[in-house]
Amino acid sequence: MCRRENNDLSGNDVVQSFITGSGSFPTFASLNSQLRILVISLLPSTISDPKNLGTVLHFIYLREGMGGGIRQLLEQVHRLSRRCLFRVLSMGPLPTHLAFIMDGNRRYAKKRGLEDGSGHKAGFSALMSMLQYCYELGIKYVTVYAFSIDNFRRKPEEVQSLMDLMLEKIKSLLDKESIVHEYGIRVYFIGNLGLLNDQVRAAAEEVMKATAKNSRVVLLVCVAYNSTDEIVQAVKRSCVDKADRDVERIQLVDIEENMQMSVAPEPDILIRSSGETRLSNFLLWQTGNSQLFSPDALWPEIGLRHLVWAILNFQRSHSYLEKKKKQL
């Protein structure tokens, strides 16, 4: 096992050990062919030269140590590669707000013969990874469609199972080691929370209170939500604010101020997984100028490449969309 005190190795020494198998450094030969390709492909072309590979491996060796073996090696190479990729992406315009319709959790579980609920658990992991990427890219707002009002029409046992899973995952956000605290994420739960059971609603309110002072990233979780309900509730609140005699004087701005989603700007990109192109009553008011992206991957299969592709498409048409917004 390698130790941090062995810091007299040069980059060439490390890469030689990695390739030839000398010393205690994990060897290139110890990886199967797929992992070998992965190690190299994760590196941007600017550092794919073998000499630079030695420098990268040496950096990983000194900074993190290699006690964890091959898995840690791949994680560090992936992190370095991602940092370089995001630096390139940041040379162009980046979205401020991404919205996701997390579609395909049940199909994911069925396709793999998994038990009920496994797809949603895998979907939660995909969401945590996506939040990490957004944080690293500097994307301020992320909105996810977690549970529609229409989902209450499903079988009672399925709804209860989803509520139990939701309660578990909401409570996990309160853990000190959770991504919410690590990245300074403020969480809002958007929707008709009165439709949730007491435990889930109380947990949601606790998370919102606990993260109220966070400001680096804002996560909006739409639960017990659909867009028509949000609009109706906003109109009702606008009428109350204006009083009966002033109802006819209600302006567009009055309704927008009473929308629950008014805490965030309109989404720049709306991503719906599983290849579907329907909005499914999600953010109808806010997505008139949003770009739509519908990768074929089911939500638990969503990864970095899908996010990068969506941002590249956004950058390609950004100038045109900005001109159209100014004309409105």
Distances in Å between the Cα of 214 and the Cα atoms of 14, 47, 219 are 41, 36, 11
Distance CA 296, CA 293 (A): 10
Query: Is-catalytic flag, 254?
Result: no
Name the residue among 144, 284, 273 with its Cα closest to residue 219: 144
Distance CA 40, CA 53 (A): 9
50-64 and 70-89 helices cross at what angle (nearest 10)?
Answer: 110
**Token duo for residue 180:** 């919410």
Residues 298/105, Cβ–Cβ less than 8 Å: yes
Secondary element (H or E) of residue 144: strand 141-148
Catalytic: which of 103, 229, 244, 296?
A: 103
Name the residue among 128, 298, 149 with its Cα closest to residue 226: 149
What are the two backbone dihedrals, phi and then psi, of residue 220, each rounded to the nearest 5 degrees? -110, 115
Name the residue among 263, 262, 254 with its Cα closest to residue 236: 254
Distance CA 146, CA 157 (A): 18
| Catalytic residue set | 103
